[in-house]
Structure 1
């Protein structure tokens, strides 16, 4: 019997160290919008338990209806999640990359970014500079609903075609080396939401082994760099 208890103890200890993918649900709160605050999250559902650690690269994060706060600040310099789902219907969610200036402001979604029309990524700075606003990095085809990204959107290298389900607006767009990006039949607007910084309103395409399909696309852009 002691061996059984000992085995269960080690299993539970292993699970508690987060060596597995977990489902994190944002509940928010009245005081802080910092995503690193553990009390802002629940495991499995919005009524689940408070986690012991913040979500990370293996984890799926969800932003749903029925929560206290729908403003979410990602305060770490470099954040990685697996799937990122914001499917609220009655709540408007606002996400911002709010790390201190000088830090690398990136949010990487290795899995699927799935957004309802009530999800918006807003800027944490009045500057159009990428280092101040931040970059959302996508590794797979996002499920969008004509969303607005007041930051820089980067489509990262992958072994498959990337095709957003709808058009979108963003502060800037980067297409990495060896990316196959299909924007056909979509309306894409690259706007200078902030000031007229050199990077604001820019589309930058790394041409090495990159395929960009713009067939029948309505593509509005201020500046285009092919490097």
Structure 2
């Protein structure tokens, strides 16, 4: 059940397991059988897990831990690809979101799932993510702008939303979120890449769209 919670979907907190059944008992039975049949060989258990339909079909069913969110955003913006000054600031960011690395609050570990989110930690998560993708000097953000710009001299609002969602994940958003993204994209009209000035303005428009996407409810899930 710990493996299911970590890799597949959020389960209730551990103290509730004695009274709350698994949300997918068949999956837990499959993993339990693999454990006993392999005499506790975790490689075999993980092989079964990663080959299973319940793992392959699980998308956006887990709230990202602070560590997952920080690492994902850092990879997206292309910083700290090698050890360099400032990397400890990432540890501070995760701590502000409720996860002090290597220092869980109890031997039980951290309470995961929806308990990662409250008013304060959600604000930290959104601010960190949005501030990172707002910086057009970050190599990953520049690469996103270049990839989108390589598609042609102009970019419609609909294509802007689709391309940014694809390059930040891909991220699947609900209808309400998509409508909000489209309203923002349509408010700035088509983006052009035909001159240096237009390209700079397009880059700012792409960055604003990235900020909205990483601030969305859907981006909080893995």
TM-score interval (norm. to shorter): under 0.3
Higher percent of residues as strand: 1
Indicate the structure (1 or 2) with the bigger Cα radius of gyration: 2
The structure richer in helix per residue is: 2
Q: TM-score, normalised by structure 1?
A: 0.26
